[in-house]
Chains A and B, each alone.
Chain A
């Protein structure tokens, strides 16, 4: 079953604008990760935030985590056409195997 639900399902912005995607989940987590998928390709890991962290940055990416609301957001600043892709959140728990449960994804289109 899908643990995370991304919002919006689709987002279209102009190059240079910021893009914000949200993820909500249902159960307690150990960590939350964001991945990018270009059409027809494998997923690429972007950033990981642990349950005891509230905010994390990596280049143009900023991730926040609110465990009391069971939600996370991914902000991409100064977007570029190359950022066009689907973005997925994935949650990990303390069970064995480092398993992740993926959300349904947000399709981001950055137009020139």
Chain B
């Protein structure tokens, strides 16, 4: 069966510090991968998605970047965090194709102080 891991679960970082969140998927090959951010009490905002190694599409201009160095690894980064980067970050995967369900990791709660 497929599983998706995210770490860390919670993170408190000062403004201006770097960020690296990691997501890995097991039990599938060539998945589509996604990074979302969820503000408190709100819906999900798609930040990045990837259909293959090294292929990253950015959905919104922002202080963050994403990379996919391996087929089942997706990394969200920032060189310098802003207060507005605080939120709940969720990684998800789906099989390739259209009209497929997405499967989410447990999320990372990021607080920028």
Query: Is A25 in the interface zone, CB < 8 Å from B?
Result: no
Contacting residue for B43 out of A30, A40, A41, A88, CB 8 A: A88
- How many residues from B make CB contacts under 8 Å with A? 29
Query: Is A81 in the interface zone, CB < 8 Å from B?
Result: no
Q: Total contacts A to B, CB within 8 angstroms?
A: 69
Task: Pull 25 A–B residue pairs with CB atoms less than 8 Å apart, ordered by A.
Answer: A31-B98, A31-B99, A40-B107, A40-B109, A42-B92, A42-B107, A43-B92, A45-B103, A48-B99, A48-B101, A88-B43, A92-B98, A92-B99, A96-B51, A97-B32, A99-B46, A100-B46, A100-B102, A101-B46, A102-B36, A102-B44, A102-B46, A104-B42, A104-B43, A105-B42
Q: Which residues from chain B contact A92 at a C-beta distance below 8 Å?
A: 98-99
B contact set with A: CB distance below 8 Å: 32, 34, 36, 42-46, 49, 51, 57, 59, 88, 90, 92, 94, 96-107, 109
